[in-house]
Structure 1
Amino acid sequence: MAHPRDTGRRTALVPRRFVALGGRGPEDVVADARGRVLTGLEDGRIVRVDGIADPARTRVQVIAETGGRPLGLELLPDEALLVCDARRGLLRIALEDGTAGVLADTVAGEPLRFASNVVALLDGTVYFTVSSRSYPLEHWIGDLVEHTGTGRLLRLAPGEKEPEVLLEGLQFANGLAPSADESFLVVAQTGVRRLTRYWLAGPKQGRAETFVDDLPGQPDNLWRAPGGPIWVALAGPRVAALELLHRRGPAVRRGAARLAVRTPFRPPGTTGVVAVDDEGRILHHLQGRRARFRMVTSACEADGRLILGSLWERGLAVCELPASPD
C-alpha cells in the first residue's frame, strides 16, 4: 500500500501525569498481565512500575541491571524478560532474581551492537532488530542523517546461539511486532517513515513488502496490545529538509552527519502515537504540539491507560486511552 489508510479520528495526545523514575531515558515500555510497566534506563537499570494509574499506589522498583544500555523489551511466559541492550547484545533476564544472561552478542562474525527491539513468538523463536551498523546509540542522529541503510532484522531460533540475518538494508530498523496470528512481523523503519511487513508463513514466506508508508512521523518502538492494535510511537515529526538531504550523494550526507552528531540535540515539541490494525489501517492518531513530554519512543496499554516512554525524558507519561473506533 502506498499511503496509510486513516480510519480513526486525530485526537490530542495529552499526558495526565508524569511518573518519575530516578533516571533518564525509559526508551521502551511494556506491560505485564497485572498492568505493571517495565522499562530500561540509560544507566542500565530495569525498573518495574506498579499502580501506574493511581498516584497513591504508584511504586517504582529496580528489578535488574544489564551493565549496558537497555532498549527494547519483551516479556516471556516463564517470568523472564528479553532485552535488546545497545552495548551488550540480546539478553535474557530472570525476573525472580534479576540475573542476566547473554543470548547473542555476535552476528555474521561481528559484534552485535545497537540491538533495538525484540519479540518472541509462541514457538520460542526470537526476532529482533539492529538499527545501525555504522553508528552507536549515542550518535543515532548520525545514522538518520547519513541514511546508511545498515539496519537489520534477525532471527534467533530456539537453542541457537548465532542469529540469522533475515533482512538487510533497512533504514534505521527499530520497533517490531507480530500480527495477531503470527503470520507476519511488522518492522518500523524510522529513516523512511515506514512500516514493513515480513511474512513468516503462507505463499509470501520470507518476503518483505511495504505495510504502511508515509507515516505522519518517524516510527520508533512498536507494541501489540493483547487482542488489540499495534501501537506505534512517533519519535519525531516529518522533517522535509532531512528528506531532501537523503536525495543527495553519500559524501554530502556523511558531511551532514558529522555535523549532526556534534550539534546539541533537543527534541521538537511535536509528539505523536498511532495505532494500526493487521490490515494497515490507522485506527488512532494522537498528536501533541508544544508538548512538555518530548520524543515519544514507545507506547503501551497498562491498567486502562496509555503509557509513553521516551529516550529523552526522566520518566513516563500517563495518558487516557482513546475511545475505540466504530
Structure 2
Amino acid sequence: MHEPTALVPVRYFAIGGRGPEDVVADARGRVLTGVEDGRVLRVDGLTEPAEPRVEVLADTGGRPLGLELLPDDALLVCDAERGLLRVDLTDGTVDVLADSVAGERLRFCSNVVALADGSVCFTVSSRRHPLEHWIGDVVEHTATGRLLRLAPGSDTPEVLLDGLRFANGLAVSGDGSFLVVAETSAYRLTRYWLTGPRAGRSEPFVENLPGMPDNVWRGSPDGPIRVALAGPRVPALDLLHRTAPAVRRAAARVAVHAPFRPTGTIGVLAVDDTGTVVHHLARRHSGFRMVTSVCESGGRLVLGSLWERGVAVCELPDPK
C-alpha cells in the first residue's frame, strides 16, 4: 500500500440538505447527490470562484444513496427505503425498478452501476440493519450484504453474490469484464467476474485497506477507480470481529443507541484494473468528516458525506 500523501482541501459548500452520501459528476462537471430528506440535487459551479448553484431535480420520497447517470438524461438511484429507482432528470418523475428480491423487501440498497448490455447491478449493504442503524451491521459483522443484477425489462433482481460484509460502492472494469465491490467492514474490494472463463466467480481484488471503503466512482473506462474511505481502521473493532456471533450481536445492540461522531481522519484511494493502488490521499483532524463518496469535476476532487451538510472540494493529485 502506498504511503499516504496529503488530501488538500480547497473549499467547502453547504448545499441546503444533510448527508450528500454519494456524489457523481455529469459530462458538464455538475455534481449530483441525494440528501437526507429525499431530494436529489444538482450542484453547478463547484470549481468556480462564485457561489455554486443548487437545483432540486426530484424527490424520491425515501432516502437516496448511490447514484448512476444514464445516457438518456436519467438517473439510477439506490434508495435505502424504496429500493432501486429511476429518475427522469427532465421532469423529476420517479419510477420504482425493483423493491424486492425472492419475496423479501429490498432494504438498504447502497450503490448501482449500469452495464453495456442494459442490465443494472446494485448492492444491498445489509439484510438485518436499516440505514439508520448502519453502525450495528458494521459492529455485528453480519455478512448479509448482496450484489444483485436486474436484467433489462425485468422487475425481479437475481442474486449474484451473497454473504458480503456491508456491500457498498460498485464500479465496472475498463473493459466491462468484472465488477469491483467495496466491502466496508472487511476493509477490502472484491472482484466479481462478468465475462470470461471465471464468469460468475468472485475473488479479493484489494485487501487490507487502510480504512473503510464506502462508495467508489469511475469517471471514464481508462480512468482510475476512486474509493472513498469513510473512516480509519479501528483495532478494537478488528478484535471484536473475531469474537463469537452472540458477542457481536450484543455489541451491535449497544452501538446503535450510543452517541456517534465520526473521526477527523478521512481518505481517498485510487486503484487501477490490476488492483494496484495509484495513490492514497489522507487527512487527519479534518473538519469535513466521514467521507462516503468522491468524484472528479473541473480538475478537482469533490467529496460527499453521510454526516455533513455540504460537499468539500479538494486538490486533485498529480498523475503518476
Q: TM tier, shorter chain? A: over 0.9
Do the aligned partners of 1:233 and 1:274 also contact (CA within 8 Å) in 2? yes
Structure 1, 54-63 or 167-176: larger mean CA deviation: 54-63
**What is the letter of the counterpart of residue 289 of structure 1?**
R
- Cross-structure match for 1:144: 138
**Aligned residue runs from structure 1 range 124-273, under 5 A:** 124-226=118-220, 227-273=222-268
Cα drift, residue 10 of structure 1? 2.4
**Aligned residue runs from structure 1 range 286-305, under 5 A:** 286-305=281-300
Distance 1:157 1:309 in 2: 30
**What is the letter of the counterpart of residue 240 of structure 2?**
L
**Secondary structure of 2:256's aligned partner:** helix
Distance 1:34 1:268 in 2: 33
Find out whether 1:276 has 2:271 as its counterpart: yes
**Secondary structure of 1:255's aligned partner:** helix
**Secondary structure of 1:191's aligned partner:** helix
**Secondary structure of 1:91's aligned partner:** strand
Ranges of 4+ aligned residues in structure 1 off by more than 2 Å = none
Distance 2:142 2:205 in 1: 21
**Secondary structure of 2:43's aligned partner:** strand
Distance 1:261 1:199 in 2: 35
Cα drift, residue 320 of structure 1? 1.0
Distance 1:84 1:58 in 2: 25
Do the aligned partners of 1:91 and 1:104 also contact (CA within 8 Å) in 2? yes
- Cross-structure match for 1:49: 43
Distance 1:317 1:221 in 2: 15
Find out whether 1:12 has 2:6 as its counterpart: yes
RMSD: 0.8
Aligned residue pairs: how many?
319
Distance 2:18 2:49 in 1: 20
**Aligned residue runs from structure 1 range 75-90, under 5 A:** 75-90=69-84
Q: Give the structure-2-normalised TM-score.
A: 0.98
**What is the letter of the counterpart of residue 26 of structure 1?**
P
Distance 1:275 1:61 in 2: 29
**Aligned residue runs from structure 1 range 53-72, under 5 A:** 53-56=47-50, 58-72=52-66
1:58-78 deviation digits (Å, cap 9, x = unpaired): 201111100000000000000
1:96-125 deviation digits (Å, cap 9, x = unpaired): 001100000011111111000000012111
1:141-193 deviation digits (Å, cap 9, x = unpaired): 00000010000000001001100001000000000000001100000000110
Distance 2:251 2:160 in 1: 30
**What is the letter of the counterpart of residue 308 of structure 1?**
L
**What is the letter of the counterpart of residue 200 of structure 1?**
L
Cα drift, residue 225 of structure 1? 2.1
Q: Give the structure-1-normalised TM-score.
A: 0.97
**Secondary structure of 2:252's aligned partner:** helix
Instruction: Give me the identity figure in percent.
Output: 72
Name stretches of at least 5 consecutive residues in structure 1 with no aligned partner: none
Distance 2:51 2:116 in 1: 33
